[in-house]
């Protein structure tokens, strides 16, 4: 009597596993799905292939003048020749190390603050909010022995980042204060906050920038000449803090009333209640809203083109007018789009990471 040996299980039919199985299940499960799949494939094929051919296969990458663009595809030489201008604007070339250093320090602080394993978070946050702004200002603008580089020479990606960062960092605290003020029970404070928020939210950013650059200087005639960048920055901060206030208010209202009452019952003061109970919970809910506002602020910075400040988009438009390089708008705008995408996409991914990390089951 031989021992019972079960036969090995037969492999699943080839139509159910592997690439074929996956394709059958997801792409060709029914006649309509098959039709849609084929159509999509056709559209992708007819758009992507010429695009990739233009952007990579037939493209010119190296050279120094228009004459080097001979193969009929994209002329990336246009970008490489002016890369420094797109990054730093008219910043003097021998001082490029200054914005570079400021940027590296910024990345350092961001890594310190955003990766959980690195210790001394509190120290990092304090340094990032007190020492770093002063350091960055001295590096970029000058002083303390460094040559002063006036802001009209700033430009390119550097200017975009300066505007977006200052806008973000200053708008969040002002926004929180405004949102708390709007929910305050003190009528004067509530009125002031409501009027502020509704005023700045009621006018387009483009109008604010115009007012800051065209009307404001008229009131300074013959005397103080407020810096153009400073004027634009104040406008952007005001505008963004109004939006931020509404995002924060949304987060505050999403908290159940019990949280507020519980804190009151414990005998906490107003500020203790806000900072120990309400805001930590509300902030978690607000992350998608805040990041949404930040991304839109980052992209809105390019509106300063209309007041003659040349951010990365402005520098590219400027470059398109160079008689020696006329006719490469597609390359220029694609490059700008790609740069914006890198920054916006990383912000968006970090926000998702943060949401998951802080998720304590409050999501419904």
Partner 1 sequence: MKKIATLVGATVAIMATAGAHANTLETVKNRGAVQCGVSDGLPGFSATDSSGRWQGIDADVCRAVAAAVFGDAEKVNFVSLTATERFTALQSGEIDILSRNTTWTLTRDASLGLNFTGVNYYDGQGFLVSKDLGVDTAKELDGASVCIQSGTTTELNLADYFRVNGMSYEPVLYDTSDQTVGGFEAGRCDVLTSDQSQLYALRIQLSDPDSAVVLPEVISKEPLGPVVRQGDDAWFNVVKWSLYAMINAEEMGITTANAEEMKSSNDPGIQRFLGVSGNMGELLGVSNDWAFNISKQVGNYGEVFERTVGTGSPLNISRGLNALWSDGGLQYAPPVR
Q: How far is the CA of 325 from the CAs of 95, 262, 312, 358, in angstroms?
A: 27, 67, 17, 50
Contact region with partner 1 (CB under 8 A), list: 18-26, 108-116, 274-282, 305-313: 305-313
Nearer Cβ to partner 1 (163/197): 163
Dist CA 219 CA 65 (whole Å): 46
- 327 touches partner 1 by CB under 8 A: yes
Listed in sequence order, the residues at least 6 apart from 216 whose beta carbon sits closer than 8 Å to its beta carbon are 226, 231
Distance in angstroms (rounded) separating the CA atoms of residues 341 and 352: 16
Nearer to partner 1, 150 or 280 (CB): 150
Q: State which of residues 225, 256, 360, 363 lies at the interface with partner 1 (CB under 8 A).
A: 225
Q: Is 317 in the site for partner 1 (CB under 8 A)?
A: yes
**Min. distance of Cβ 152 from partner 1 in angstroms?**
6
Residues recorded for the chain: 364
Structure tokens given for 20: 């074929």
Tell me how far, at minimum, the Cβ of 142 lies from partner 1, in Å.
16
Determine the size of the site formed for partner 1 (CB under 8 A): 37
Q: Which is nearer to partner 1, 333 or 350 (CB)?
A: 333
Q: Which of residues 197, 282, 290, 310 is near partner 1 by CB under 8 A? A: 310
Tell me: does residue 251 bind partner 1 (CB under 8 A).
no
C-alpha distances (whole Å) from 310 to each of 10, 137, 176, 240, 307 are 67, 19, 31, 21, 9
Buried b (16+ CB within 10 A) or exposed e, 325-348: beebeebbeebbeebbeebbeebe
Asked if 319 interacts with partner 1 (CB under 8 A), we say yes
305 binds partner 1 (CB under 8 A): yes
Q: Residue 231 interacts with partner 1 (CB under 8 A)?
A: no
289 is a site residue for partner 1 (CB under 8 A):
no
One-character DSSP codes across 98-158 = HHHHHHHHHHHHHHHHH-TTSS-HHHHHHHHHHHHHHHHHHHHH-BTTBPP--GGGB-HHH
Kindly tell me which residue out of 314, 331, 340, 351 binds partner 1, with binding defined by CB under 8 A: 314
Q: How many CA atoms within 13 Å lie on the side-chain side of 98?
A: 21
Exactly one of 61, 137, 199, 220 binds partner 1 (CB under 8 A); that residue is: 220
262 binding partner 1? (CB under 8 A): no
Restricting to residues 142-171, name those near partner 1 by CB under 8 A: 150, 152
Q: Please give the Cα distance from 88 to 313 (Å, whole number).
A: 12
The values of phi and psi at residue 146, to 5°, are -85, 145
222 is a site residue for partner 1 (CB under 8 A): yes
Check binding of 75 to partner 1 (CB under 8 A).
no
The stretch near partner 1 (CB under 8 A) out of 130-138, 189-197, 215-223, 352-360 is 215-223
228 binds partner 1 (CB under 8 A): yes
Does 113 help bind partner 1 (rule: CB under 8 A)? no
Nearer Cβ to partner 1 (170/304):
304
Q: Does 218 bind partner 1 (CB under 8 A)?
A: yes
CA dihedral 158, 164, 165, 166 (to 10 degrees): 110
From 48-56, 101-109, 125-133, 322-330, give the range in contact with partner 1 by CB under 8 A.
322-330
**Which residue from 340, 318, 339 is spatially nearest to 329, judged by alpha carbons?**
318
51 forms part of the interface with partner 1 (CB under 8 A): no
Pick between residue 247 and residue 305 the one whose CB is nearest to partner 1: 305
Crossing angle of helices 228-254/156-182, nearest 10°?
A: 40
Among 44, 49, 326, 337, binds partner 1 (CB under 8 A): 326
In angstroms, what CA-CA distances link 202 with 29, 194, 206, 208, 239? 50, 12, 12, 11, 9
Using rule CB under 8 A, residue 186 touches partner 1: no
> Which parts of this chain interact with partner 1 (CB under 8 A)?
81-82, 84-85, 89-90, 150, 152, 210, 213-215, 217-218, 220-222, 225, 228, 305-308, 310, 314, 317-327, 329
């Amino acid at each position: 009597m031989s021992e019972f040996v079960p036969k090995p299980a037969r492999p699943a039919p080839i139509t159910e596993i592997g690439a074929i199985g996956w394709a059958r299940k997801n792409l060709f499960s029914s006649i309509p799905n098959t039709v849609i799949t084929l159509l999509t494939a056709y559209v992708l094929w007819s758009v992507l292939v010429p695009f990739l051919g233009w952007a990579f296969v037939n493209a010119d990458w190296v050279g120094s003048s228009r004459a080097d663009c001979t193969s009929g595809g994209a002329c990336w030489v246009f970008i490489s020749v002016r890369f420094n201008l797109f990054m730093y604007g008219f910043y003097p070339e021998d001082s490029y190390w200054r914005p570079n250093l400021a940027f590296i320090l910024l990345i350092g602080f961001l890594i310190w603050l955003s990766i959980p394993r690195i210790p001394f978070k509190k120290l990092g946050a304090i340094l990032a909010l007190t020492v770093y702004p002063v350091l960055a200002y001295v590096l970029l603008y000058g002083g303390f022995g460094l040559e002063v580089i006036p802001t009209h020479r700033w430009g390119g990606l550097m200017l975009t980042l300066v505007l977006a960062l200052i806008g973000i960092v200053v708008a969040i605290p002002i926004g929180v204060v405004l949102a708390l003020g709007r929910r305050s029970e003190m009528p004067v404070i509530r009125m002031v906050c409501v009027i502020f928020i509704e005023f700045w939210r009621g006018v387009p950013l483009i109008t604010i920038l115009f007012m800051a650059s065209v009307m404001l200087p008229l009131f300074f005639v013959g005397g103080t000449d407020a810096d153009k960048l400073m004027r634009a920055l104040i406008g952007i901060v005001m505008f963004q803090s109004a939006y931020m206030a509404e995002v924060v208010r949304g987060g505050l209202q999403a908290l159940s009333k019990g949280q507020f009452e519980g804190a009151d019952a414990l005998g906490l003061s107003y500020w203790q209640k806000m900072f120990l109970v309400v805001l930590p919970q509300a902030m978690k809910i607000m992350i998608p809203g805040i990041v949404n506002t930040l991304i839109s602020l980052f992209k809105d910075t390019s509106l300063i083109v209309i007041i003659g400040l040349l951010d990365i988009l402005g520098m590219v438009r400027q470059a398109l007018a160079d008689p020696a390089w006329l006719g490469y708008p597609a390359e220029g705008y694609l490059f700008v789009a790609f740069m914006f995408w890198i920054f916006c996409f990383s912000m968006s991914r970090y926000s998702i990471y943060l949401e998951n990390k802080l998720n304590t089951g409050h999501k419904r």
